[in-house]
Structure 1
Amino acid sequence: MQPRIQKRHHARSVRLLLPGLVKYRLATIYHKYINTISNWIQRFEADNDYERRATKQTGQLTAEQREWLLDFYTMHPVAFFDEAKAAFEQQLARFISISTVWRALHQHGLTWKVLERRAMNIKINDIVRFTLELSTIKWCQMNIQFLDEVSFDNRGMLRSRGYCLKGKKLAFRGEFNRKARVSLLCFISVDGLVETFHTDGTFDRSKFIECCRAHA
């Protein structure tokens, strides 16, 4: 037997070295306690292996609770883990960790995907009417003004990812909720910034038309 043996032993080396060696000699070779070597020998004689028995871990959630989480993400695919945790604890009156939510989703095949945004199509009649109105104006550089709306808040406006099953696309159709913010409506010409209007939140149709009339 070679005098030097690595600490990270292989199972085959244990099978080869166990026969014919006393416990204290094996303890010296592997830098282990004699009790540890005794446990190795007992497991080796019983199961022909010295590794610890792997115990099957049971999930912390019941089938009904997992089903509730899946239904929650079916209705709210862009929800964050902390939001799912709060809704779960409020609905089922049971503590749950964020890591448990993550494991439950991945065990059922839900993955983190980019959200596809699908805008509502504008009517073709509105496009034609707007084009005809613009064609009646004699344009030059001095009477062209650009109009833009910009908003400011402390975080991103929209969520871009959510959970859904593998092989399926994640799409969210409808209005996108925004946080409270301040919006600016700016008029810019070839000479620079002409006039600005601001409002709390975002400009609705009535505020937008009112600002345009005030500027005109």
Structure 2
Amino acid sequence: MAPGNISRRDFLRYTGALGIGGFLPMGGYDIALRPPGAVRDFLARCIRCGSCIEACPYDSIRAMGITSGALGHTPYVDPLKTPCYLCQERGPDGKDRPLSKYLRCGDVCPTGALKKIVNDKDVLAEVPHELKMGTSVLNRKLCLAWQYDSCGECYYNCPLKDKALLDRPPGFEELSTAQTIAPGAVGAISGPGRMGATGIRPYVDPDHCI
């Protein structure tokens, strides 16, 4: 299997081993989640200087421990602890604004292991392959917005809101609160939740998800 063409089954098998093996290369693959803009030959270029870790405004970037072997001291992101916010800051008006002209980690990288990317939402939305850090998967059966017409936190907090995460699926039909969404009633949309006129129904656009 060529590098970069790892299957989902292999990915799950490799990441499932993290609990006992740590972030170790398996079969030549770097399975750690690297900072945005990591190039294909990231491990060959990274000199373990820690500049990206120091530059991150939210401490989202961490250094792998010495128990990680050859990957020790390389930067990674653990989204379950502190996700990457793409160097955005939310103002009093609820709108996100860039903290810097470029994503800070790539801006300070001395070797090009992390690409220098303009910190503009339109630019970021057009280069998701440059930033790829995973694709969100929404379980509508567990989603409060889909089931009970409440919440919407994921939509409001997404750094690429209205690009990677929409407030409702394309072509979604407005339904009154007295109506329910039956399987297959609106194209591929299905689920038992009630739809309010202004309700949020999160939808992930995988083509723009980083």
What TM-score bracket applies, with the shorter chain setting the length?
under 0.3
Greater RCO (CA < 8 Å, at least 6 residues apart): 2
Structure (1 or 2) with the greater strand fraction: 1
Q: Which one has a bigger Cα radius of gyration?
A: 1
Structure (1 or 2) with the greater helix fraction: 1
TM-score of the superposed pair, with normalisation by structure 2? 0.19
TM-score of the superposed pair, with normalisation by structure 1? 0.18
